Chains A and B, each alone.
Chain A
Amino acid sequence: MIEVENVHKSFGDTHVLKGITTSFEDGKTNLVIGQSGSGKTVFLKCLLGLFEPEEGQICYNGQFYSELSTSERRDLRQEMGMVFQGSALFDSMTVEGNVMFPLDMFTKQSKAEMQDRVDFVLERVNLIDAHKKFPSEISGGMKKRVAIARAIVMNPKYLFCDEPNSGLDPKTAILIDNLIQEITREYNITTVINTHDMNSVMEIGEKIIFLKDGFKEWEGTNKEIFKTDNEAVTNFVYSSELFKKVRQMYIEERN
C-alpha cells in the first residue's frame, strides 16, 4: 500500500503538485488521470522516488520514503517495477536480455534459474517466440508486453505505468490493460497507472484520481465516475461525443 500525504512539488516558481493526499491499495489498479500539464508525470516520478517532494510524505507499506537511507531507498527501488510510455527497452539487448537484466543485476540465481524465470514471465505476458528478437524487430504492443515482463520479473510490490497503452490500437490497448489488471490481482501488487485513455478508465479503473492544475480534484472508482457531478471531471472524461452519449444513456437508464 502506498499512502501519499499532502505532497507538494515545485520547479523554480512553478508549483506543480499542490498538496496531494491519497492512498493506493494492494491488488488494485489505481489510475491517475488529468489533462497534459496537470502534474501526473511529476506525481508518478515522486512516487518512484525520482523527485523528492518539498513538503508532505510518501509511505510505502509503513516506510516513509524521506526517512530511508540511500541503501534502503535502493532496496525499495528494487521492489518497484516501471512500464514507461515508450517502453524504454534496452535496444542493444534481446527481449530475453531485457527481461533477464534485473535478475542478472540484483540476484545470485544461476543461469538456469534466471532462464526459467524469464521463460515464465514472458509466457505470462503471452510472448513465446520473441526471446531472441531485438526491440527494433517487434511491434509496439509486444514492446509494452516485454516492458511489463521486465517490470514484474523481480516480483515487485509496486508497479508503475506511464501511459502504458499510448500509441497502441484500441484492441491491443485493452489487452495491455487487462494484462496489467490480471497481474496486479494475481501477485497482489500496488499498481499506479498514469493515463489519458478513457477506455482504461472504464475498463480497469478500480480507483481513479483526477488531477487538475496540481490539485487532486476528484477520486473514486470507474462506477462512480459515471455518477459524478464534478464539472471538471465530466468535462475531461466525457469530452468526446461517444463518451457523452454513453453517459447520457447511463443516466437515462438509471432514471
Chain B
Amino acid sequence: MKVKCTSLFLFLWLQVYFWRMKYLEAIGKYFIMVYEVFKKPTKWPIMRSLILKEIDELIFGSLGIIIFIAFFIGGVVTIQTALNLNSPFLPKSLIGFATRQSVILEFAPTFTSIIMAGKVGSYITSSIGTMRVTEQIDALEIMGVNSLNYLVFPKITAMLMYPFAVAIAMYVGILGGWIAAVFGGYAPSGEFIKGLQMDFESFHVTYAFIKTLVFAFVIATVPSYHGFYMRGGALEVGKASTTAFVWTSVVIIILNYILTQLMLG
C-alpha cells in the first residue's frame, strides 16, 4: 500500500514537473521569438507596404465588428445600470456616470481586446501557420530573410493603431448608452450627459490607452507565436488558432488585473 502511494505521488509529481517545464519552455521560446522579431530588419520600402497592408487587415478590417459590439454593449450597460438604480434618492445622472466608467475603464479596452483576440488572433495564427505547413517560412529562411521580422513586425506595428480603434469603441459605446437611456426612457438626455461629465478623470483614459497598447502587443505576438512554431497540417492550423485565442485571452485577462492593480490600485 505504502509503495503504491509513493509511486502514485511520484507519478503525479513528475506529471506536474513536466507540465510546468513545458509551459516554462513555451514562455522562454515566446520571449526569444519577440527578441528575434526586432533583429535584422527587412528593407524599409517592403516593410512599409507590409505595415500598411496589416493596418488595413487588422485595424480597418475590424472596425465594423468593434463598432457593432461597442454600440450594443454600451446600451446594455446603460439598461442594466438603470434597472439597478431604482431608488428615487439616486440621481439619474449616475446612469451616465456608470456607463462612462464601465465603457472607458473596462468594456472598450478589455472586452474589445478579447473580441480582437478571436478575430485578429485567429487570422494571424492561421495565416502564419499556413505559411509554416506549406514551407513558405522555410523558403523565406533559406533566402536569408528574417522570417520573424518579415511576418510579425508589421503586425506589431499595425497594432500600434489599435488605441484609435478602442477610442472609437469608447465613443460608440457611450453613444449606444445615451441612445438606450434616452430612447428607452431610463434617463433624460440632460441627466445622462451630466453624468458623463461628472468627476471626470483624464488619467482613466490614459490608463485605458496604456492597457490597450499592452493588449495590442499581446494580440499581435501570442497568435504569431502559435502560428510560427506550429507543426502538422491543416487540422493543426485550426487547433493552433483555437489555442492562440485561448492563450491570448488568458494573457489579456491576467495583464488586465496586473495593470489595473499597478495603475489604479
Nearest CB in chain B: distance from A43 CB, A: 15
Interface residues of A in 103-140 (CB under 8 A from B): 104-106
What's the least CB distance linking B200 to chain A, in Å?
A: 46
A78 at interface, CB cutoff 8 A: yes
Cβ B145 vs Cβ A105 within 8 A: yes
Do B142 and A105 touch across chains, with their CB atoms under 8 A apart? no
Q: How many A-B residue pairs have CB under 8 A?
A: 43
Known: A104-B46, A105-B43, A105-B46. A77 touches B144 (CB 8 A): yes
In the complex, whether A232 has a CB less than 8 A from a CB of chain B is no
Check A50/B142 contact, CB under 8 A, given A104-B46, A105-B46.
yes
Of A30-38, A55-63, A83-91, A172-180, the one touching chain B: A83-91
Q: Are A86 and B135 in contact (CB under 8 A)?
A: yes
Question: Is there contact, CB below 8 Å, between B42 and A105?
Answer: yes
Contact indicator B135/A80 (Cβ below 8 Å): no
Contact A88 B134 (CB under 8 A): yes
CA distance in complex: A75, B40 (Å): 13
Q: Which residue of A lies closest to B143 (CB)?
A: A102
Any chain B CB within 8 A of the CB of A152?
A: no
Q: Would you call A48 an interface residue if the criterion is a C-beta within 8 Å of the partner chain's C-beta atoms?
A: yes
Q: Which residues of A contact B141 (CB under 8 A)?
A: 50
How far is B135's CA from A90's CA once the two chains are assembled, in angstroms?
9
**Does B56 reach chain A (CB closer than 8 Å)?**
no
Question: Quick check: is B139 within 8 A (CB to CB) of the other chain?
Answer: yes
Instruction: Say yes or no for A82: interface residue by CB 8 A criterion.
Output: yes
Kindly state the separation between the CA atoms of A50 and B134 in the bound complex, as whole angstroms.
Answer: 17
> CB distance B143 to A77 under 8 Å?
yes
Total contacting residues, chain B, CB less than 8 A: 14
Measured in the bound complex, the distance between the Cα atoms of B146 and A105 in whole Å is 11
Q: Which residues of A contact B139 (CB under 8 A)?
A: 82, 84, 88, 90
Q: Nearest chain-B residue to A89 (Cβ)?
A: B136
The residues of A that contact B134 with a CB separation of less than 8 Å are 86, 88, 91
A106 and B138 contacting across the interface, CB-CB below 8 Å = no
Query: Which residues of B from 111 to 160 have beta carbons under 8 Å from A?
Result: 134-136, 138-139, 141-145
Q: For chain B residues 42-66, which have a beta carbon within 8 Å of chain A?
A: 42-43, 46
- Contact present for A50 and B143 (CB under 8 Å): no
**Residues of A65-107 whose CB lies within 8 A of B:** 74-75, 77-78, 80, 82, 84-86, 88-91, 101-102, 104-106
Interface size on A, residues (CB 8 A): 20
Compute how far the CA of A75 lies from the CA of B143 in the bound complex, rounded to whole angstroms: 9
**B137 CB, nearest partner CB in chain A, Å:** 9
Residue of B46, B136, B142, B145 ringed by the most chain A CB atoms within 10 A:
B142
Q: Which residue of A lies closest to B150 (CB)?
A: A105
Contacts of B46 in A (CB 8 A): 104-105
B144 in contact with A84 (CB, 8 Å): no
Q: Which residue of A lies closest to B144 (CB)?
A: A77
**In the complex, residue of chain A having the shortest beta-carbon distance to the beta carbon of B139:** A88
Is the CB–CB distance between A88 and B136 below 8 Å? yes
- Closest residue of A by beta carbon distance from B137: A88
Cα–Cα, bound, A50→B135 (Å): 13
Choose among A48, A75, A86 the residue that contacts B142 (Cβ–Cβ < 8 A): A48
B136 near A91: Cβ-Cβ < 8 Å: yes
Could you tell me if B142 and A80 are in contact, using CB atoms closer than 8 angstroms? Answer: yes
Once the chains are docked, how many angstroms separate the CA of A88 from the CA of B143?
12
With the chains together, A50 CA to B147 CA distance in Å?
Answer: 13
Give Cα A48–Cα B43 distance, bound, in whole angstroms. Answer: 23
A82 adjacent to B144 (CB under 8 Å): no
A78 & B144 in contact (Cβ 8 Å cutoff)? yes
Top 10 A-B pairs, shortest CB-CB distance: A88-B135, A77-B144, A88-B139, A82-B142, A74-B144, A78-B144, A84-B135, A88-B136, A102-B143, A90-B136
- B interface list, Cβ under 8 A from A: 40, 42-43, 46, 134-136, 138-139, 141-145
Chain A interfacial positions (CB closer than 8 Å to B): 48, 50, 74-75, 77-78, 80, 82, 84-86, 88-91, 101-102, 104-106
In the assembled complex, 17 residue pairs joining A and B whose CB atoms fall closer than 8 Å, in A order, are A74-B40, A77-B142, A78-B143, A80-B142, A82-B139, A84-B135, A84-B139, A85-B135, A88-B134, A88-B136, A89-B136, A90-B139, A101-B143, A105-B42, A105-B143, A106-B143, A106-B144
Q: A84-B138, A101-B143, A104-B46 are in contact. List 19 more A-B contacts (CB 8 A).
A: A50-B141, A50-B142, A74-B144, A75-B144, A77-B144, A78-B144, A82-B139, A82-B142, A84-B135, A86-B135, A88-B135, A89-B136, A90-B136, A90-B139, A91-B134, A102-B143, A104-B43, A105-B42, A105-B143
